[in-house]
Amino acid sequence: MKKILSLILCLTMLLSLMGIASADEKIKLQFMGWEASVYETEANKAAIAAFEADNPEYEVEFITGKYDDHHTRLMTMMAGNAAPDVFYMEPCFSRQFSDQGLLLDITETFKKEFEGIELIDWSYEKMDLEGTGVYYGIDSCIVGNIMFINPALFREAGLEVPSTKTAMTWDEMLDYAQKLTIREGDVVKQYGVYGLEDRNTVWGYWLYNGVTWVNENDEVKISDPVKAAEILNKIKALRTEYGVAPAGTELQNSGMSANQMLQTGKLAMVMAGSYSIQELSKMGFEYIAVKPPVFDHDHPVGIVNSSYNCAVWSGSKYPEAAVKLASYLTREDTQLIFVRDGLWMSNRAYLYEPENFDKWMTDAHPEGFEDLVPIFQNGTFIPTYRLLNANLIDDIFTEEFENFFYNDQSAEDTIMIIEQRCAAL
Amino acid sequence: MVQKTARKRSLASHDSAWAALFLLPNLLFFLTFTIIPILWAAVMSFTNWKIIGTPTWVGLDNYIEIFTKDPVFWQVLKNTLTFMIISVPVGLVLSFLAALMLNQDIAFKRWYRGFFFMPVIASSVLVAVVWKWMLVSDFGMVNYIISLFGVRGPNWLTDKRFAMPSVVGVSIWKGLGFNMMLFIAGLQNIPETYYEAFRMDSENKVKQVIHITLPLMAPTTFFVFTMSIINSFQVFDLVQMMTNGGPGRNTSVLVHYIYQNAFRYFRMGYASALAYILFFIILIVTIIQYRFNNPKDFSLD
């Protein structure tokens, strides 16, 4: 009897050890992203669960945090040799990392996995930052600024709700904004429009009106300073001359997001990233998205890219597994988890064909959203993101735009100072 | 006798050994996390280190760039000095006045002291978030209160004329309680006999403060002044949280710029050079303070 008991015990121990051994055999990967909203984290966890279900040999830990600290954390984690295997990489930081050999060259994987898949043109630019055909990240997520509207406020004011089909002209938008700005004495209870003083929005208006800011020698040089200044002045006038827009940074301090202000009727029109669709669709009020207003219909305003590529750390203990995860996270079916939820737009060209709309457009997307498809298809990549000091250049633009919008610096001086400061880098 | 002395010596050396042993962990900690990083930063300030990779020796290039090619450095230095010039005297005077008031025999003085001290123990992030919200131009509490008097308040944190004073104001408000407590401790150390002697000549309270309190408070004032100057050069958290240096660079201070260079632009060598410049500025200011500070000032004339 004792012998049988001993045998059972030994077998149990052996089985437990085998269990431990098999658990240890799982390859543990870390994936780090930033959190635009809690819904993004949920969507990422769903994507990871799908990856783990398809690849039971892997276990993925998802790390998330604020965008503001993301690249700092990443760099310090790399310095400490404890970085995640796969992570979001904002293109404006990408070259600083790739130039130090911190990102894995995943060109071959990309070519293999994406063979026969046609992406929208500017998605290739976003991945091939140096223009050498070497990819240090795979694009999956594209976003851009569009205009969100609370139609109830238009109806209350007896105004016709703007169409999704045709972009408003600047004057039409200004007229709406003036009628939708409500004052009680000196206090503004409702602003007509918000979000146009944002750097990416200004860049969008520059680009689509023929102003670029990087020349053929990769120097920051504003191609048409007169036009650039005119655009800056038009945007600033909304707040300073017409009083129909609050200061951008002021609103961020108020404790309410622009989406919440749109919902609660403090703002009637908001220029914001297309990722807002995810949050707005869950807020339980009627909203629509329209094309950005135009100065003239010959220059329709599309979006300028941002958001991330999925990159792999060159110091990963499991580079093959990490590349597999990065590749999985950028696959169409994974991407569609985010796209259907309204967080991202797809970089697959074929998904923008009308017959494929039903693959990604859901109830999360506002009515008439299909009319906005061309502005994503024809988006433009931010030209400075190709440069090595792109994040520093970003900050210079932000600071000098703030000096223009809030500090009485003239548009002409702003342009000149931006060029001078960038030249000194 | 000789035996006794030898025994005493042995005990003393025995005690010293134990003391050294107990101090050792702290010394090791101090060495590892303070002294070595300080020395490391000094070396790094002569390199182009980017957090990762092998640093390349660039000699004085970082320092030359800071002083001759970097207009932002001069702007943030000016902002830092502005912060100091406003916050130190105003903070000193207000905390001294608060201490004088709360050192009187008034009802609930312990409660008042507690209220004044509360911001000191609150986290800077919390303070910054609350004040950011209160200072919003259209929906904030500060402008709402101002509007009750028929005045339209400004854009506190986005208008360059008001952004720095706003940050300074919050900084003073946050640090007031700490300095006030130091002053109260100093005030309570002044013997009552001096006041009694003064009252024989005059009942004037202002003169009493000028001729008795202020001279006897000189050591405390000097300490608070020195610490306030050092703290004002090191301000970072409120700036980062309230304005992130904006609008433009109007509230960006030296430590904020050091942080940006180190952790946003990954120019650790350049940031180390900036940190050493800050170190020397604080050192020079402190030496000047000590030089100007006459020990006779601490005694009653």
Query: Three-state SS for A148?
Result: strand
A100: number of Cβ within 10 Å: 16
Which residues on B lie below 8 Å from A407 (Cβ)? 159-160, 247-248, 250
CB-count burial class (<10 Å; 0-12, 13-18, 19+) for A252: middle
Q: Which residues of B122-139 are buried (b: 16+ CB within 10 A; e: fewer)?
A: eebeebbeebbbbbbbbb
Query: If you search the block for the tokens 């053929």, which residue do you land on?
Result: A216
- How far are the Cα atoms of A37, A94, A305, B191 from residue A71, in angstroms, in the given order? 18, 10, 18, 58
Q: Is the peptide bond before B119 cis (omega within 30 degrees of 0)?
A: no
Q: Parallel, antiparallel, or unpaired: how do β-strands A187-194 and A267-273 relate?
A: parallel
- How far are the Cα atoms of A8, A139, A339 from residue A276, in angstroms, in the given order? 60, 20, 12
Q: Which of B179, B42, B8, B208 is nearest to B97 (CA)?
A: B179
Output the average pLDDT for chain A: 89
The answer to whether ipTM exceeds 0.95 is: no
CB of B48 less than 8 A from some CB of A? no
Distance CA B278, CA B77 (A): 9
Which residues on B lie below 8 Å from A247 (Cβ)? 137, 155, 158
A75 Cα to chain B: minimum distance (Å): 8
pLDDT score for A21: 47
Which residues on A lie below 8 Å from B266 (Cβ)? 75, 96
Please answer yes or no on whether B140 and A399 come within 8 Å at the CB atom. no
Q: Could you tell me if A180 and A268 are in contact, meaning their C-beta atoms sit under 8 angstroms apart? A: yes
What is the distance, to the nearest Å, from the Cα of residue B167 to the centroid of all Cα atoms in its chain? 14
Per-residue pLDDT of chain A (425 residues; tens, 9 = 90+): 566 666 666 666 555 555 444 555 789 999 999 887 777 888 888 889 999 999 999 999 999 998 888 999 999 999 999 999 999 999 999 999 999 999 999 999 888 888 888 999 888 988 998 888 999 999 988 888 999 999 999 999 999 999 999 999 999 999 999 999 998 877 788 999 999 999 999 999 999 999 999 999 999 999 999 999 999 999 999 999 999 998 876 666 667 788 999 999 999 999 999 999 999 999 999 999 999 999 988 888 888 876 889 999 999 999 999 999 999 999 888 889 889 999 889 999 999 999 999 999 999 999 999 999 998 988 888 889 989 889 999 999 999 999 999 888 999 999 999 999 999 88
Report DSSP state, residue B263: I
**Model pLDDT for residues A333-389, shown as the tens digit of each residue:** 888 988 999 988 999 999 999 999 999 999 999 999 999 999 898 888 888 998 988
Q: Could you tell me if A207 and A379 are in contact, meaning their C-beta atoms sit under 8 angstroms apart? A: no
A399 Cα to chain B: minimum distance (Å): 4
Please answer yes or no on whether B52 and A79 come within 8 Å at the CB atom. yes
**Model pLDDT for residues A310-349, shown as the tens digit of each residue:** 999 999 999 999 999 999 999 888 889 889 999 889 999 9
Global confidence as pTM = 0.85
A232 Cα to chain B: minimum distance (Å): 16
What is the distance, to the nearest Å, from the Cα of residue B138 to the centroid of all Cα atoms in its chain? 32
A394 Cα to chain B: minimum distance (Å): 11
Distance CA B8, CA B11 (A): 5
Strand order of the β-sheet with A58-65 is A58-65, A27-34, A86-89, A309-312, A138-139
Distance CA A182, CA A244 (A): 9
